[in-house]
Structure 1
């Protein structure tokens, strides 16, 4: 089963359609007036928190959207094509053959010095620049406006609809779908011959929703396992019940509500000490298997994808569990990018968790240290009771400013977070 062209994503990193929440954020920060069905693609970038490239097509980037952990607010950094797209006010330059990128704009470069002065006195740190067939972006500095980037204009630059993208990529998604079904059939047959029980895990997230529906086409009455840690979002619990009813799932809910009973003994869970995963998920799951499938080995269908993280990028289609010695996990959508998952969901009109429209990417425990800090702050906005219970505990060990910036999520802060902490102490003196 050799790899096909459709398994190669157009994007190097996980990419998705902008959610309703992200559309609202971008509209607030820019001159765009986006609708929820407009095509805006967000590609993950390295950073301390949320940070993504913003595209209107596969190869047309209009900016970077990120969450600033200093100001605790969203920021949008435009590219030249943002100004071509929006028609926002820009400074017009004379046609100059010399290289201007990285240079300060001098009066001799300007078509209209008055235009420069009027635009420069505005509040925006970024300013559009136009020079004939070229469009650029400048940055305000103490010495003036410095030209950050300059690119040749594109023809017919405009915002398309999500529907356009779906139709354009329908054939690729169908091919990817068939490939994943072949993966499922191959390994299910292999492990059934070995006497394994087949089941599927379901978290309430988009990936496990898709992998669950795919395997049901092969095993309609397959056991679908959801672990309720007692830390799930209320929306997730409602969604799981609705999803199970809509698709007639053979749903089993495993009780994993052991977090608060172990908290004092184990301490605050962190990215580098996620004891809660064992206590609230793996141990209850192992006990469930031993009770329901005594003396049997288990093959569990799992929606993990290699684009999600560096660790998962190393996965093969199957992996023996490191905690449950009689379990093997199978990853049928391993090669899918997030944009593929969302394309399939929208093409097939599959029910998805409403939290995705509210600013969440990770559907799991509301206090998970692996979630983005921008998501954690959304808990404060949407679920104040859940937020208060956890924050009141964290206040025993951290200041409120430290909590708001997520310092509690590590036992040992990584270098960039350590720099942020020092900056807040030394520059703002607001962590005392």
Structure 2
């Protein structure tokens, strides 16, 4: 059974949600001409956003982070996007020397040793490339949804980050069923790992399939017991400086990845 067959269930107000999502995307393009980018994780939510950007020919750049630790299926999706939509995807990767240095100092399985080392790995592989991705840009679009986790339950359509950058979450109010309804309706390309019960897909050593009844993000850093399971890209701030708009009315052994993995290069 495909992820579409398993998950596609549109909300009663799906059409209204879709209209609000398009409003957010158009607002982002209008408010930040030439300086807004979709930072796609290549997950199901981000594929919906990419499809909307391409389908409505919105002037929003597409970019992703290749951490050099992704599943082969995830990396292959970059080329599929470019072929399917005829648009380029900017790819940002960590400097090879930085990855080699981290692995030589802490080992290829450092992420399993402590939360601190796992976050340090994320900093090398994700945060540094993100900084380069955002150079010259003052806004980005993400696939965050309130339903994804307790830590994301208060995500707004538009938020001001502490660094002054504007972050958009046009799917904030969508359900998982809404996401897959859209994917099925428009035949959106997606990561085949979703068909293997990977709802949330990150780096290969840090992602596993989930079992029936498990939390949506249970497969991410599953050996960590406490705290919000985030890499640092999306640490939600409820600080007074946050602004919002367009609000809705109302320890297991590491699972073997599905592809070969080298901690430095594929």
Tell me which residue corresponds to 2:234: none
TM-score, L = length of structure 1: 0.44
- 1:9-408 matched pairs, under 5 angstroms: 20=2, 37=5, 172-192=13-33, 197-256=35-94, 258-265=98-105, 268-269=110-111, 272-273=115-116, 274-290=119-135, 293=136, 297-322=137-162, 325=163, 327-368=165-206, 370-372=220-222, 376-379=254-257, 382-383=258-259, 385-386=260-261
The 3 A distance-change label for structure 1 pair 326 and 279 is: farther
Q: CA, structure 1 residues 289+342, in 2 after alignment: closer, same or farther (shift >3 Å)? A: same
Structure 1 distance, partners of 2:61, 2:27, is 19
RMSD of aligned Cα (Å): 3.0
CA offset at residue 260 of structure 1?
Answer: 4.2
After superposition, the C-alpha distances for 1:24-74 in whole angstroms (9 at most, x for unaligned) are xxxxxxxxxxxx95xx56xxxxxxxxxxxxxxxxxxxxxxxxxxxxxxxxx
Q: 1:259 to 1:188 in 2, by over 3 A?
A: same
Q: Secondary structure at the match of 1:280?
A: helix
In the TM superposition, residue 239 of structure 1 has moved relative to its aligned partner by: 1.6
* Structure 1 pair 191–228 and aligned structure 2 pair: CA distance change class (3 A): same
Larger RCO of the pair (alpha carbons < 8 Å, separation 6+): 2
Q: Aligned partners of 2:122, 2:57: CA distance in 1, in Å?
A: 28
- Bigger share in strand: 1
1:250 is paired with a residue whose SS is: coil
d(CA) in 1 for partners of 2:59, 2:73:
26
Question: Shift of the alpha carbon at 1:261?
Answer: 2.7
Structure 2 residues without counterparts, runs of 5 or longer: 208-219, 224-251
State the shift of 1:202 in Å: 1.5
Partner Cα distance (1:225, 1:178) in 2:
24
Q: C-alpha separation between the residues in 1 aligned to 2:160 and 2:57?
A: 22
What TM-score, normalized by structure 2, do the two folds share? 0.69
Whole-angstrom distance in 2 between the partners of 1:376 and 1:337: 29
How big is the shift at 1:300? 0.7
Rate the CA distance shift 1:265–1:317 in 2: closer, same or farther, 3 A. Answer: farther
In structure 1, stretches of 5+ residues that fail to align are 1-18, 22-35, 42-161, 391-432
How many Å separate the matches in 1 of 2:202 and 2:86? 23
8 Å CA contact retained: 2:92, 2:132: no
* Structure with larger Rg: 1
Listed one character per residue, the Cα deviations across residues 94-143 of structure 1 (whole Å, up to 9, x for unaligned) are xxxxxxxxxxxxxxxxxxxxxxxxxxxxxxxxxxxxxxxxxxxxxxxxxx
Contact 1:359 1:378 in 2 (8 A): no
The Cα offsets for residues 211-242 of structure 1, whole Å up to 9 and x where unpaired, read as 22223345545321111110010111112211
